[in-house]
Amino acid sequence: MKLAIAAALLAGSALPAAAQDTDWAQVRKEWNMPVAPFRITGNVHYVGTAGIAAYLITTPEGHILIDGAMEESAPLVAANIAALGFKLRDVKILLINHAHWDHSGGLAELKRLTGARLMASAGDKPGLEAGMLDYRPDLDRAPPVKVDVSLTDGEMLVLGGTTLITHLTPGHTKGCTSWTMRAGGLDIIFACSLSVAGQPLTAGQGYDAAAADFRTTFAKLKGMRADVFLNFHPSAFDMEAKRKKLLAGDVRAFVDPGELRRRVDAAKGAFEGELARQRH
């Protein structure tokens, strides 16, 4: 199944041989299938598509939108925000977990629709503004989007009584960014992608620190705790199964304090395998 292969490629780990033949037009179509928006817990809502996440954090003083999904997803994300009863113009801050087309493609249009300020890491800023990363010419392009504010590690974003803490977690890209916050009495992590996803890990290929960055990121995340693990590929944290449980009445469907560590361990194992493969 094409979708499964692509999901493994981007959300998973090593580059399977079959992924070289991935029909990306078909994958994009499947990832862009609509999904009804829903509240995960507290003021955290899912407003993404079936295959690519976007999260809306609402506050009385305006909202924060993390990620724009793909270029063709922007109208769906906008419609999902409206369907939950929120106004696009009330979105004040736009964030992005990393500058790959499947997450950043919708940002330019969503920035236009909301008028929000885009805040992103210095590591990913050039890629967002160019619509591509100079060290990943193999990837699809995204519409270029201007970054208004550069985020640093540990920076706190405060809006309407909600505080998001920024954690730089590079490896997947030079500026891969995660956030933590408290919502519904729970510690939430929005974890940046942890897969290698075709990133060259050895020196002389545009991102010499990639392997070292991955290792630092894995160690950093293992030192953190979260009741709810969220990621930007729904398939990377079994979102569909959790969503079904939630809609069936299980308000703790997304609560799994062991998940962060499990996901990091799995990503680290896959990374070590891919590093060995690339060095071979």
Question: Which residues sit at the interface with Zn ion, rule CB under 5 A?
Answer: 100, 193
- DSSP per-residue letters across the chain: -HHHHHHHHHTSSS--GGGGG--HHHHHHHHT-----EEEETTEEE---SSS--EEE--TT-EEEE---SGGGHHHHHHHHHHTT--GGGEEEEE-S--SHHHHTTHHHHHHHH-PEEEEETTTHHHHHHTS-TT-TTSPP-------EEE-TT-EEEETTEEEEEEE--SSSTT-EEEEEEETTEEEEEEPP-S-TT---STTSS-TTHHHHHHHHHHHHHT---SEEEESSGGGGTHHHHHHHHHTT-TTTT--TTHHHHHHHHHHHHHHHHHHHHH-
Task: Output 86 or 271, the one with its CB closest to Zn ion.
Answer: 271
Distance separating alpha carbons of residues 43 and 231, to the nearest angstrom: 17
Residue 11: how many other CB atoms lie within 10 Å:
21
Task: Output 63 or 100, the one with its CB closest to Zn ion.
Answer: 100
Nearest approach in angstroms of CB 98 to Zn ion is 5
Task: Output 81 or 133, the one with its CB closest to Zn ion.
Answer: 133
Matching residue, tokens 């939108």: 65
Nearest approach in angstroms of CB 232 to Zn ion is 8
Nearest approach in angstroms of CB 139 to Zn ion is 8
Nearest approach in angstroms of CB 118 to Zn ion is 18
Nearest approach in angstroms of CB 271 to Zn ion is 14
Nearest approach in angstroms of CB 11 to Zn ion is 9
Task: Output 100 or 268, the one with its CB closest to Zn ion.
Answer: 100
Q: Which residue is nearest to Zn ion (CB)?
A: 100
**All residues at 6 or more sequence positions from 165 whose CB lies less than 8 Å from its CB, including other chains:** 154, 155, 156, 157, 179, 180, 181
Nearest approach in angstroms of CB 67 to Zn ion is 11
Task: Output 76 or 176, the one with its CB closest to Zn ion.
Answer: 176
Task: Output 88 or 201, the one with its CB closest to Zn ion.
Answer: 201
Task: Output 37 or 171, the one with its CB closest to Zn ion.
Answer: 171
